[in-house]
Structure 1
Amino acid sequence: MKGGCFFLALDCSCCRSRWRRGDIRAVVIRRVCPNVRLIMPFSLQGFPWRFAVYFIAGCYLFADLYACKGPLHARLMAGRGSSPEGQGGGYAAEVYGRPITRLELEEAMREHLWKRNESWAALNPEARRQTRWTVLENLVNDRILRAFRIMNGLDTVPPLDSARRESDQMRRQFANEAEYPQRLAAMQQTPKSHDEAIRDAQLDEQWIAEKISHRLAEVTEADARAWYDEFKETLRIPQAHHAAHLFLTRHDKTKPDREAEVREIHRQTVAKEKTFAELAALHSDDDRTKKIGGDLGWFTRERMPADFIAAVERLKIGQLSDPVLTKLGWHLIIVMERQESRLPTYEEAGEEIFALLTSQRREEAVKSLVGELRGRSQRPTKFVFYHASIIDRAEPAS
């Protein structure tokens, strides 16, 4: 080093030759002061800069997260290292640094049971444990999708007014305007945060649609017809009845002898002293049908109690039954119309089959996408953490 300068050249006759011809650029990097220069007589035009940047960033992440336990590691582990007992009854899980509270889990459990018409009290301990974890995993999947949506962005952003419409529709479900913020407060939300949650959900759906579009194979006519040929029996339309009844409850303590009463009404009907509709309006205890001639509309076996439907199926069209005793009380029944069980034609079921197959393929594509994102959220760095002590105490919200 002379005069405060350091000169570096490649010890190669070819390079020196090119240097003399001026074919190689010199890069000067100043350090500390203008007099200290590093001169590199070689070309950087074809240097793989992107790979170098990614390589350096990867090395830094590895050193921070694994080798040195640096600031990024400390930030990611802050939630995990601290007590999960926090807002909303504690954190059931944390996904990319964002918590899923026990309250959120319990709200989702209530909706899960309602959709399946299940009772929490009727579930055994193992079924309860499975319900907790099934619901939580669905919430985790939603959070992972959202995290990747935020990181990657959207190609097309849906309009804001769609979120406003959904929010306004929810508000109108409450008879009293004050009930809406009260209900949200019970969920530890405000109207603003709830509107933001609706918007986030819409953005998530848009992002999912963009990411799975290339994975979805279009349902063809051949696909639908093949499904119909194989599974058409599952589409069978059951036998249906159109009937009317006159009903006397057996649970009215002020009227102990309902059998005598129903038999007298039956006699009057057979003798045509009054029409069936007139007698139903006078005597029936079924307030929903007494003013419309006892008309029950169309129904299938699945919609009616077994003892009632058994009596209906024995009757011919237009025939008045003898008094029928069920667990609920006494009935007089007339069957007005009947449709026998049948298979729908392909033309009748085609639209439903297309919708079913499209839905199935979308579910498979979303499941595949979620599986990939979950894998990327666990390896090489873990971004999903669970708190079993909180999860095991979760109960469906009341």
Structure 2
Amino acid sequence: MFLFNGPVRKKIDELNVTDEERIQMAIDKGICAKVYEHYIYLSQVDRRVQENLFRTGRSPEKVRAKEWTLLRWAALNDLIDEQLLRTKTKVNNEQVSISEQAIDAEVQRFEKLFPDKKAMHEAMAAQGIESEKELRFRLAARLEQEAYLHNRIKKSLTISDEESKQWYDQHKQTFEMPERRQLRHIFLATLDRPSEDAEATLKTQLAKIQAKEADFASAAAEISEDERSKNKGGQLGWMSKNRLPGDFASATFTLAKNQPTLIRTKLGWHIVEVTDIKAPATVPFDTVKSEINSAIADTRRSEAIRQYRHNLRQLSQDHFQIFGQVVNQPVPDATGESNE
């Protein structure tokens, strides 16, 4: 991506060029860093800054000049690490093998990000990708890099049963489930009618339900004003106390099972029945073991990648050079204040 084969490269690499001259040439050409034989330009760094801002929903126009410089350094470090990984992968490409089917699938995933080819080509152009052939090449290279990196860190991602059980024991409160109740209700609102009318109607209906003269589900379908539950027999499903409005929860979580009861809330009157109760419980380890393993693996993967990048940077110190004067150049149109 950052390969440059023109006369600038030849000139910079001449043995008789002094460090001062080399730095000045980098400034003149906007070169932020040289990684092996590849060059990273200020325009590429600024484009990465913009991409990072867009991903976080921020507008580049509202970033202060000092912050932009800091973001440049972060973006440049990422670009250097990526180029080092590209070089390492290329040298060791016999260690990874990416099938054409895998590349095809990656190309298809990329294409699905856009409504049509025109939008896709516009996005490609913004990233400096000139053709679909180059796109395929870049996606294949990225898959190779990911596969190579995975091979380097996969040993650290192996998680034993003892490790996942220990994590479970240390975070057991995460898997505690409160008391849950299966509820159904018949509801009449009091917003547009006198409260005593709604109360009287439901008292009559409750008496019929208790005397077995009426069926709860049929009554809900006939008179309940809760459109979400009336055609489901009034069923609200399994509820924990924290999922319900305070006044409704405080009333229903004191009821016994299978005893329809008339209650009032700030919204209106309800006939509520608790049809089942599940006591507080802790989710068993075996139920969440795979979830725990995934969480541990994700944490370890991030740390392993960070450590590998750090080690690769340390081992490659003699193979890259950073021109800080270029990175610290003033941001175009920036005044040091917000651009808004």
User: Is TM (by shorter chain) over 0.5?
Assistant: yes
Aligned partner (choices 215, 238, 243) of residue 183 of structure 2: 243
Task: Tell me if structure 1 keeps the 8 A contact 2:177–2:280.
Answer: yes
Q: Given the alignment, which residue of 186, 194, 213 partners 2:154?
A: 213
Measured at CA, do residues 319 and 392 of structure 1 come closer, stay the same or move farther in structure 2, by a change above 3 Å?
Answer: farther
The yes-or-no answer on 1:77 pairing with 2:22 is no
SS at match of 1:335: strand
Say what the alpha-carbon RMSD is for the aligned residues.
5.0
Instruction: Specify the code of the residue in structure 2 equivalent to 1:307.
Output: D
Contact 1:319 1:334 in 2 (8 A): yes
1:271 and 2:208 correspond: yes
Distance 1:213 1:265, change over 3 A: same
CA distance in 2, matches of 1:303, 1:137: 46
Corresponding residue for residue 100 of structure 1: 47
SS of the equivalent of 1:323 reads strand
Partners of 2:43 and 2:88 lie apart in 1 by 14
String of CA shifts for 1:3-38, please: whole Å, max 9, x gaps: xxxxxxxxxxxxxxxxxxxxxxxxxxxxxxxxxxxx
Deviation at 1:186, TM superposition (A): 8.4
Q: Match for residue 231 of structure 1?
A: 171
Alignment check: 8 A CA contact 1:64 1:71 kept: no
Uncovered stretches (5+) of structure 1, i.e. residues with no partner: 1-58, 81-92, 114-119
Change (3 A) 1:276 1:151: same
Aligned identity (percent) is: 20
Q: In structure 1, how many angstroms separate the alpha carbons of the residues matched to 2:246 and 2:200?
A: 22
Which residue of structure 2 aligns with residue 365 of structure 1? 304
Partner SS, residue 84 of structure 2: helix
Aligned mates of 2:74, 2:206 — CA distance in 1: 59
**Deviation at 1:243?**
1.5
Q: CA 1:393–1:262 in 2, change beyond 3 Å: closer, same or farther?
A: farther
Contact residue 212 and residue 365 of structure 1 kept, 8 A: yes
**Structure 2: distance between partners of 1:204 and 1:136:** 24
Name the structure 1 match of 2:9: none
- The structure-2 alpha-carbon separation of the partners of 1:162 and 1:332, relative to structure 1 and needing over 3 Å to count, comes to farther
> Shift in Å at residue 149 of structure 1?
3.1
Task: Return the letter of the residue paired with 2:86.
Answer: I
CA distance in 2 between partners of 1:62 and 1:306 (Å): 78
Match for 1:152: what amino acid?
Answer: K
SS of match in other structure, 1:69: helix
Cross-structure match for 2:243: 303
- Per-residue CA deviation, residues 255-309 of structure 1 (Å, 9 max, x unaligned), is 2436622541343133225322222223334333221112222233343333333
Distance 1:243 1:78, change over 3 A: same
**Could you say what secondary structure the match of 2:162 adopts?**
helix
Confirm whether residue 339 of structure 1 aligns to residue 278 of structure 2: yes
CA distance in structure 2 between the aligned counterparts of 1:281 and 1:212, rounded to whole angstroms: 59
Q: 1:4 maps to which residue?
A: none
1:353 pairs with 2:300: no
Displacement of 1:330 in angstroms is: 4.5
For residue 313 of structure 1, report the CA deviation from its aligned partner: 1.5
CA 1:345/1:61 → structure 2, altered by over 3 Å: closer, same or farther? farther
Using the size of structure 1 for normalisation, the TM-score is: 0.57
Change (3 A) 1:324 1:205: farther
Distance 1:132 1:79, change over 3 A: closer
1:182-201 superposed matches below 5 A? none
Specify the alignment match of 1:53 in structure 2: none
The residue identity in structure 2 corresponding to 1:300 is: S
- Alpha carbons of structure 1 residues 134 and 355: separation in structure 2 relative to 1, 3 Å: farther
CA shift, 1:334, in A, is 1.9
Q: Residue 390 of structure 1: CA displacement?
A: 10
Distance (Å, rounded) in 1 between the aligned partners of 2:150 and 2:144: 10
Alignment partners' CA distance in 2, 1:333 and 1:206:
57
One-letter amino acid matched to 2:202: I
> Aligned partner of 1:295: which letter?
Q
8 Å contact kept, 1:243–1:334: yes
Superposition map of 1:103-114 within 5 A: 103-110=50-57
Residues 359-379 of structure 1, C-alpha deviations (whole Å, 9 max, x = no match): 222222122234446678999
Aligned residue in 2 for 1:148 = 84
Q: Which blocks of at least 5 consecutive residues in structure 2 are unaligned?
A: 1-11, 34-39
Mapped partners of 1:266, 1:165: distance in 2: 63
1:49-72 C-alpha deviation (Å, 9 max, x unpaired): xxxxxxxxxx95997583322686
Letter in structure 2 aligned against 1:107: F
Q: What amino acid maps onto 1:223 in structure 2?
A: E
Q: What displacement does 1:348 show? A: 3.3
How far does residue 172 in structure 1 lie from its aligned partner after superposition?
Answer: 6.7
Displacement of 1:315 in angstroms is 1.9
Q: Are the counterparts in 2 of residues 259 and 330 from structure 1 also a CA contact under 8 Å?
A: no
After TM superposition, the structure 1 stretch with the greater mean CA deviation from structure 2, 191-200 or 228-237, is 191-200
Alignment coverage as a number of residue pairs? 302
